[in-house]
Amino acid sequence: LANSSFRGVILRNVSFRPTFALTNKYYKSIKTIDFDGASMDKLTYAALKGVGVSLENIVLL
């Protein structure tokens, strides 16, 4: 997921599951994803915000 982009997509009931143990490497890779302009539900927003992902310019559904 490192340096991925979800620019302009709609995310509903999404979870990002690691294929390995939850480590700092996983959390750092999640933080590099670009969600600029994406639309997401409040649950997905809260989960990503809790991990420390930058969620600027998103639309809540």
Q: What digits encode the pLDDT tens for the residues 32-46?
A: 888 888 888 888 888
21 pLDDT band (50/70/90 cuts)? low
- What pLDDT is attached to residue 1? 60
Instruction: Please tell me the distance from the alpha carbon of residue 59 to that of residue 55, in angstroms, as a whole number.
Output: 9
43: left (phi over 0), alpha (psi -120 to 50) or beta: alpha
Q: What digits encode the pLDDT tens for the residues 5-18?
A: 878 888 787 776 66
Residue among 50, 1, 56, 58 nearest 25 (CA): 1
Which residues, other chains included, contact 23 with Cβ-Cβ below 8 Å and sequence gap of 6+? none
Output the pTM of the full model.
0.65
- What pLDDT is attached to residue 59? 87
